Structure 1
Amino acid sequence: MVVVDSVFAPIENDLLALNRNLKNMIGARHPVLYAAAEHLFTAGGKRLRPAIVLLCAKASSENSEIFSSQRRLAEITEIIHTASLVHDDVLDECSTRRGIQTVHNVFSTKIAILAGDFLFAQSSWYLANLENLQVVKVISKVITDFAEGEVRQGFVRFDLQYSIEEYIAKSFYKTGSLIAAGCQGAAMLSTSDAQISNELYMYGRYMGLAFQIVDDILDIVGSTAYLGKPAGSDLLQGNLTAPVLFSLPETFQLAELIEKEFSDTDNLSYALNLLNKGSGIQQAKDLAAEYLQAAIECLNNLKDSSNKELLKKLTLTVLERIN
């Protein structure tokens, strides 16, 4: 995306350094663990989380400076995110991620679980070496939140009683928590102003929720080439997301297909067709837009700067992924 690239331009060199450092940071004694972890890093990804951390670092500092501790925090957030993806793919039985085979498909389920655990352990080691107890507390809770989100998701697959409020709570645990903590941690490492760090936490929280909703819309409207996995993959797993939940009151056929758990071969394509015809996707877009507006308002007390404007610009690009 051209707009996102322009937002990231001021931190382009930092992101290039991050990509190099990630592989160095996962240097494991066992070559199979290293290869499994490197496999997903090599696939790239949006690097949204570390980019937001770096932009928050610049926006909350006196001289638009990024400290080495903040660069390391950006790397830690990406390692934690990658570890969660490795485990998610095992739980969801995904065959591809970012257009390449998932770790458990290339190696084995056992190796994938160990690789995810290893990445979580590595992130904890580097986090401890920041030697900032408050940041350690904020970031370490994210790993607990991931587990909470997965447990919640596991118990409500194909559950037609699942509510939009429960979906938002689960989305915070699985996506919003890490982005929120990264934003807050970046501010904590550059300023002692608790109000600024708390507002950046809320900025990240709203950004994370909006980003998850947009991802869930893309699962329905995106192409396999764009997603790096088949469209409707989440729905096929029984994960009822915002566009699905908003669509359910409109069509009884969708509920029937979900109750059948898409047992017939054409069920999923029929469900995707129903979703594209209804208003659920637009309602989900509207909800994401509300969260993005709330995120922008969280930046009001930051000092005016080009970095603050970049954060606003980045916020506005989230919806452009589905327009």
Structure 2
Amino acid sequence: MLFAKNSFLSINKDISELNINLQKMIGAKHPILYAAAKHLFNTGGKRIRPSLILLIAKITAKNKKIKPEHQRLAEITEIIHTASLVHDDVIDDSDTRRGLDTVHNIFTIKVAVLAGDFLFAQSSWYLANLNNLEVVKTISKVITDFAEGEVRQGLTNFDITISLEDYIEKSFYKTATLIACSCKATAMLSNCTKSVQNDFYVYGKHLGLAFQIIDDILDITSEANKLGKPAGSDLKNGNFTAPLIFALEENPQLYQLINQEFLNENDINRTITIIKETKGIQKAKDLAQEHIQLAIDIIRNEYKYNNTETLILLSNYIIHRFN
């Protein structure tokens, strides 16, 4: 693994196999569509979502062994995640992703949208071939939630009345739903009880919310070369996140910059500076920590005898991505 290699030896082989399979699963007859889809996976990523699925599979499966269905679910989840990224980049007009040019920058917006659609279609086909109706229902809902999240975000751009509750709900639709549903689906494939399935759904939900909050903090605190995309992208697009919402409570001066939609060239940098001078970032970190703790408590309290140390380590990694 990219973030704690020695700690994840138990699934290193599975992740390597996943990387190979992803290239095979995106086969397309049209060369440009294939090149666009292949570029998405060549940009790397930490494979956090597949890692979660594989680790939960090892905890929940009766023989503690990852089944082929678990492996395929991990691959499907990564394809869905990647498809959502290419559509996000088009909507946000992002130039870079993970330090490389975005698909619509290399090709065209039309090709990028089609590449995203193609990946969603491929994931649906492989999902259907799992031959598990309950898993199909659970994961299919994610794609609907993605669309809901994008619509909600689009309707609240530059909306100074957005509440923390609105932000959390939007974050669920955009990020947490995939993690929550894939964690639940993993338990389904392990033939776990409804109670266990729901535990892992709630675990994934809190983990996903923490992940999104940390991402939103990094959008403000990280340098562009470390972030892999321009810093302050959320602000520029009028997508208001936890650090800004908390900062607004402390410094009303931000309202003027928002109302003029960062009209002047230096307004984004000025806004970031003001946010850093408030307790907004620390409050957002505290909020993310609360969600991580809620997630870890479920694992630690209910499944402490199931070799959950690595899963807890991965959960904690999410909150420590500042380092």
Residue 302 of structure 2 aligns with an amino acid whose one-letter code is N
Q: For structure 2, which runs of at least 5 residues remain unmatched after alignment?
A: none
How far the C-alpha of 1:46 sits from its partner, in A, is 1.5
Give, in whole Å, the separation in 1 of the partners of 2:7 and 2:318: 12
CA contact (8 A) 1:218 1:322 kept: yes
Describe how 1:2-81 pairs up with structure 2 within 5 A.
4-81=4-81
Give, in whole Å, the separation in 2 of the partners of 1:2 and 1:189: 27
CA contact (8 A) 2:217 2:243 kept: yes
2:158 corresponds in structure 1 to 158
Describe how 1:97-246 pairs up with structure 2 within 5 A.
97-246=97-246
What TM-score do the two structures reach when normalised by structure 1?
0.97
Give, in whole Å, the separation in 2 of the partners of 1:158 and 1:221: 20
How far the C-alpha of 1:195 sits from its partner, in A, is 1.0
Give, in whole Å, the separation in 2 of the partners of 1:169 and 1:4: 31
CA contact (8 A) 1:176 1:206 kept: yes
The C-alpha deviation readout for 1:83-126, integer Å capped at 9, x for no partner, is: 00011100000000010000001000000010000000000000
How far the C-alpha of 1:9 sits from its partner, in A, is 2.6
Going from structure 1 to structure 2, the CA distance change for 1:49 and 1:316 (only over 3 Å counts) comes to same
1:277 corresponds in structure 2 to 277
Consecutive aligned runs of 4 or more in structure 1 exceeding 6 Å deviation: none
Going from structure 1 to structure 2, the CA distance change for 1:54 and 1:105 (only over 3 Å counts) comes to same
How far the C-alpha of 1:2 sits from its partner, in A, is 7.4
What TM-score do the two structures reach when normalised by structure 2?
0.97
CA contact (8 A) 1:196 1:302 kept: no
Going from structure 1 to structure 2, the CA distance change for 1:9 and 1:162 (only over 3 Å counts) comes to same
Residue 138 of structure 1 aligns with an amino acid whose one-letter code is T
How far the C-alpha of 1:322 sits from its partner, in A, is 2.1
CA contact (8 A) 2:60 2:192 kept: no
How far the C-alpha of 1:215 sits from its partner, in A, is 0.3
How far the C-alpha of 1:6 sits from its partner, in A, is 3.7
CA contact (8 A) 2:2 2:46 kept: no
How far the C-alpha of 1:314 sits from its partner, in A, is 1.3
Residue 250 of structure 1 aligns with an amino acid whose one-letter code is E
Residue 279 of structure 1 aligns with an amino acid whose one-letter code is K
2:302 corresponds in structure 1 to 301
Cα root mean square deviation, aligned? 1.2
Give, in whole Å, the separation in 1 of the partners of 2:302 and 2:136: 25
How far the C-alpha of 1:3 sits from its partner, in A, is 5.6
CA contact (8 A) 2:53 2:182 kept: yes
CA contact (8 A) 1:60 1:302 kept: no
Give, in whole Å, the separation in 2 of the partners of 1:179 and 1:210: 11
Give, in whole Å, the separation in 2 of the partners of 1:90 and 1:9: 36
Give, in whole Å, the separation in 2 of the partners of 1:53 and 1:263: 44
Residue 47 of structure 2 aligns with an amino acid whose one-letter code is R
CA contact (8 A) 1:196 1:301 kept: no
Give, in whole Å, the separation in 2 of the partners of 1:266 and 1:132: 53
**Higher-RCO chain (CA-CA 8 Å, sequence separation at least 6):** 1
Residue 207 of structure 1 aligns with an amino acid whose one-letter code is L
How far the C-alpha of 1:10 sits from its partner, in A, is 1.6
Give, in whole Å, the separation in 1 of the partners of 2:7 and 2:147: 32
Residue 318 of structure 1 aligns to a residue in which SS? helix
CA contact (8 A) 1:36 1:115 kept: yes
Residue 58 of structure 1 aligns with an amino acid whose one-letter code is K
The aligned length equals: 322
Residue 298 of structure 1 aligns to a residue in which SS? helix
How far the C-alpha of 1:250 sits from its partner, in A, is 1.0
CA contact (8 A) 2:57 2:187 kept: yes
Residue 184 of structure 1 aligns with an amino acid whose one-letter code is K
How far the C-alpha of 1:4 sits from its partner, in A, is 3.3
Query: What's the % identity of the aligned pairs?
Result: 56
